[in-house]
Structure 1
Amino acid sequence: MGKKLSLLEFIILMALMFSLIAYATDAMLPAFERIALDLKTQNVSRVQLIIAFFVLGTGIGQLIAGPLSDTLGRKPVILGGILFFILASIWASATSSLEMLLLARFVQGLGISAPRTVGMAMVRDLYTGREMARVLSLTMMLFVLVPGVAPLFGQYLMNIFGWRSIFLSCVGLGGVVSLWLWLRQEETLRMEKRKPIRWKVLVDGWVEIRKSRRAMMSMFILGFAYSLIFAYLSSAQQVFVDWLDVGEDFPLYFGIIAVLSGLAGVLNAVLVVRLGMWLLSTFGMLIICVLSFVTGGAIWSGWIESTLLLPVFVAWSIMMFFVSGLVFTNLNAMALEPMGHIAGTASALIGAISTTGSIVLVIPIGQLYDGTGVPLILGIGLCAGTGFLLNQFNPRKLD
């Protein structure tokens, strides 16, 4: 069932598929304190692990979804993953301890990894090179609008129905996306291109990735790039509410940051054709690194008055999210471009390694929270700087 969609409808559908991860992550942010109180968790910083366990699940799940999609096709795997996500969301809504909630979040991440990973493979099935980067840029432009409204919607649901209703809303959103995909989008992987299911394919895929210096370097750099966003998401609620004292206005500030950052997709779609993926990703990480160290250093040294902390942090956040939009899409496209013959498996391996690798950086940054935003800002600056240095060894063109 389905047909070849117009470019516009395809981009919107891909954005909604990718947005399931963003919604399941960001809608929970305003609920951290309520969850800690309801589940009798004294240390609110432990509730940050709700993000880390979810991200870990998405990383590991990609190793399953990618190879399956190369065998069974893209649509069945995506639909199965969303069903898994829906069931895990129902489970999460009924948990009575933080430990069980973290386990449910991990399983939730396993399921939602399918639309993320296999969706990328669908894009690679239909587009290549800079055109692929352009499609991903426009997709991400719509995708980042979801983080803009997810915390607001999550807080609205929490205030009326309680924090558990946020998980039930994931059930509804997952149902809508799966129905649209099933009815409208045709299968993008033709039968003659499918491969027999062999888990050895992961080993073979890893061997293929290792043959491409560009795929390898882009994959590892993506780990540092992902850590920028995941570290921010883990600490944002505490920084805004505890340090900057914005109270229930936190989702509003977060929404403004996310919406303004969405313009990066439009800019990247124009610039990538002229400047190329390597240049945009390289200078993006350099900008984040420099401005993060300048901002963090100025706050740590006391050069910024307390009345200016909120606008300074918001301005830095907008910069970081905006420029990250240039980094993510181009590094993803650079990593996948040489891997068209194993797009599903390569997308799984690249996504899994870069995502799970980022958790190694995200958890320490979050647990270093000291009542200010300085550890977060400097931690992000360090990750961006490391990514910038590594990208100097990343080939500008295919091997």
Structure 2
Amino acid sequence: MNVHRRPGEAETAAPGFAEFVAIVALMMGITAFSIDNLLPAFGPIRAHFSVVEANDLQLLITAYMVGFGVMQIVFGTISDVIGRKKALMAGLVIYAVGCLMAMMADSFTTLLIARGIQGLGSAAGRVLSIAIVRDRFQGREMARVMSFCMMVFLIIPVIAPSIGSGILQVGEWHMIFGAMLTLCLILAVWFGLRMPETLHPEYRVPFSVKAILAGVRRTVSNRRTFGYSSAMGLMMGCLMAYIAMCQQIFEDGVYHLGLLFPLAFAAIAGVMGVASFINAKLVRSVGMRRLSHFGVCGFTLLGLAQVVAALAFDGPPPVILYCALLALAQALFALTVPNFNSIAMEPLGAVAGTASSFIGFYTTLLGAALGMIVGRSFDGTVLPLGLGYFLLGAAAVVLVLWAEGGRLFGTQNEGAGH
């Protein structure tokens, strides 16, 4: 691994490939853990604060994602000035403050504020993980690394709800935020000791509003970058809707699985993990475009299949059928989004921090807004989620067609490595 140091900076032993992937995956995984670990606590939180409307608990996800989206524009840009390492450590401090506030929250409003602060801090992990990977890789090799990171990252949603449920068996929901704080401290120590500065010295820039705006302008003016980023935002809207609604669908609103809810959630996330592994293995030979275009088209068709299934049965579809449709859709999501992100970032190596932060800011806020709209439409059935998958997936296909000039399944302009 190349280490980029300024004169006077201490040398840090570079991690090997597997450790590099694990650290980056954990940087990304803070977000998944902060969301999925809390899902089993919705009921106890509702009872503790006497929340009347069940759909209001979805605000625990929305508040986090809004903070998460807004701050990405800051961390990526600052990291181009001060370096990736200092920017990440600042973010982890903010996240830790949010965890402590949540543990001491005395009202639902205070808890929502704490969740927003958590989101502000965790944005550093998301945006800098992509910038760090882009510092080292490009083209199909970047997509391969991102897929491995995504595969490890998806292990967290498999186990996080079970961890949350386990914590609730021995203590109160406040302890779940203690688990989040513990994970934050582990990442801070591991990253601090093992990850060197990856920002290329020639790409380090002085702080300049003009330079930042120039980087953002370069990002939004690139047709491929903007088209794929917008499509990714629509796909993220589907994921946010699923996360917001899954507790109501599986645990107590539609299928009444109760304590089996974490198992259903883990099974679907596990399929996503397998798909990410397949993507990592295939992307160098098949190409980012072919895999992601197949993924987004298949995802849209599976959204339509969910709609048909919801309408065909007098009541909810059989739980096994519904879980299978969701798992296949999420697997295709895993073939799509990492490649969309790599294609969007490919032309922007010289402004990777700013580009990654703006793309993260844009796609997260777009995804959070769309996810909230779909999630708040929950009516006790699975139809709203199926419609969301189908309509947003179809819009993503249109955007990809626009970005590619009306062509799908090509392999043009895909680099083979760094």
Aligned partners of 2:66 and 2:119 also within 8 Å: yes
Query: 157, 180, 185: which is aligned to 1:170?
Result: 180
Query: 300, 311, 315: which is aligned to 1:289?
Result: 300
Q: Name the aligned partner's letter for residue 77 of structure 1.
A: A
Distance 1:279 1:388 in 2: 13
Q: Name the aligned partner's letter for residue 319 of structure 2.
A: L
Q: Does 1:384 align with 2:393?
A: yes
Residue 76 of structure 1, CA deviation: 0.8
What residue in structure 2 maps to residue 183 of structure 1? 193
Distance 1:224 1:81 in 2: 26
Q: Name the aligned partner's letter for residue 346 of structure 1.
A: A
Structure 1 runs of 4+ with >6 Å offset: none
Q: Does 1:34 align with 2:47?
A: no
Residue 193 of structure 1, CA deviation: 2.5
Aligned partners of 2:77 and 2:353 also within 8 Å: yes
5 Å matches for 1:356-375?
356-375=365-384
Query: 135, 153, 161: which is aligned to 1:151?
Result: 161
String of CA shifts for 1:303-360, please: whole Å, max 9, x gaps.
Answer: 7x76x52101211121121111111110110111100000000000011011101122
| Structure 1, 255-264 or 340-349: larger mean CA deviation | 255-264
Aligned partners of 2:212 and 2:354 also within 8 Å: yes
| Structure 1, 186-195 or 76-85: larger mean CA deviation | 186-195
Query: 356, 361, 364: which is aligned to 1:352?
Result: 361
Q: Name the aligned partner's letter for residue 380 of structure 2.
A: G
Distance 1:70 1:245 in 2: 48
Query: 9, 12, 15: which is aligned to 1:5?
Result: 15
String of CA shifts for 1:108-141, please: whole Å, max 9, x gaps.
Answer: 1010000110111000000111000000001101
Aligned partners of 2:203 and 2:351 also within 8 Å: no
DSSP-derived class of the 1:393 partner: helix
What residue in structure 2 maps to residue 193 of structure 1? 203
Aligned partners of 1:293 and 1:377 also within 8 Å: yes
What residue in structure 2 maps to residue 280 of structure 1? 291
Aligned partners of 1:67 and 1:201 also within 8 Å: no
Any gaps of 5 or more consecutive residues in structure 1?
none
With structure 1 as the length reference, what TM-score do the two structures score?
0.96
What residue in structure 2 maps to residue 394 of structure 1? 403
Distance 2:289 2:241 in 1: 24
Distance 2:211 2:71 in 1: 15
Distance 1:204 1:2 in 2: 32
Q: Does 1:103 align with 2:85?
A: no
Q: Does 1:298 align with 2:309?
A: yes
| Structure 1, 256-265 or 330-339: larger mean CA deviation | 256-265
Please provide the CA RMSD for this pair.
1.5
What residue in structure 1 maps to residue 331 of structure 2? 322
Aligned partners of 2:135 and 2:200 also within 8 Å: no
What residue in structure 2 maps to residue 271 of structure 1? 282
Q: 1:211 to 1:246 in 2, by over 3 A?
A: same
With structure 2 as the length reference, what TM-score do the two structures score?
0.92
DSSP-derived class of the 1:189 partner: coil
| Structure 1, 338-347 or 34-43: larger mean CA deviation | 34-43
Aligned partners of 1:89 and 1:167 also within 8 Å: yes
What residue in structure 2 maps to residue 214 of structure 1? 224
Q: 1:301 to 1:89 in 2, by over 3 A?
A: same
| Structure 1, 206-215 or 381-390: larger mean CA deviation | 206-215
Residue 299 of structure 1, CA deviation: 1.9
What residue in structure 2 maps to residue 120 of structure 1? 130
5 Å matches for 1:13-162?
13-162=23-172
DSSP-derived class of the 1:392 partner: helix
Aligned partners of 1:201 and 1:345 also within 8 Å: no
Any gaps of 5 or more consecutive residues in structure 2?
1-10, 405-409
Residue 260 of structure 1, CA deviation: 2.3
Distance 2:194 2:310 in 1: 51
Distance 1:261 1:106 in 2: 27
Residue 271 of structure 1, CA deviation: 2.1
String of CA shifts for 1:80-127, please: whole Å, max 9, x gaps.
Answer: 111111111110111122222111111110100001101110000001
Q: 1:41 to 1:268 in 2, by over 3 A?
A: same
Residue 31 of structure 1, CA deviation: 1.0
| Structure 1, 351-360 or 275-284: larger mean CA deviation | 275-284
Distance 1:313 1:329 in 2: 25
What residue in structure 1 maps to residue 320 of structure 2? 311
Distance 2:324 2:239 in 1: 16
Residue 398 of structure 1, CA deviation: 4.5
Aligned partners of 2:99 and 2:181 also within 8 Å: yes
Distance 2:211 2:100 in 1: 33
Distance 2:352 2:191 in 1: 20
What residue in structure 1 maps to residue 273 of structure 2? 262
Residue 194 of structure 1, CA deviation: 0.8
Q: Name the aligned partner's letter for residue 149 of structure 1.
A: I
Aligned partners of 1:71 and 1:197 also within 8 Å: yes
What residue in structure 2 maps to residue 335 of structure 1? 344
Residue 176 of structure 1, CA deviation: 0.4
| Structure 1, 170-179 or 271-280: larger mean CA deviation | 271-280
Residue 275 of structure 1, CA deviation: 2.3
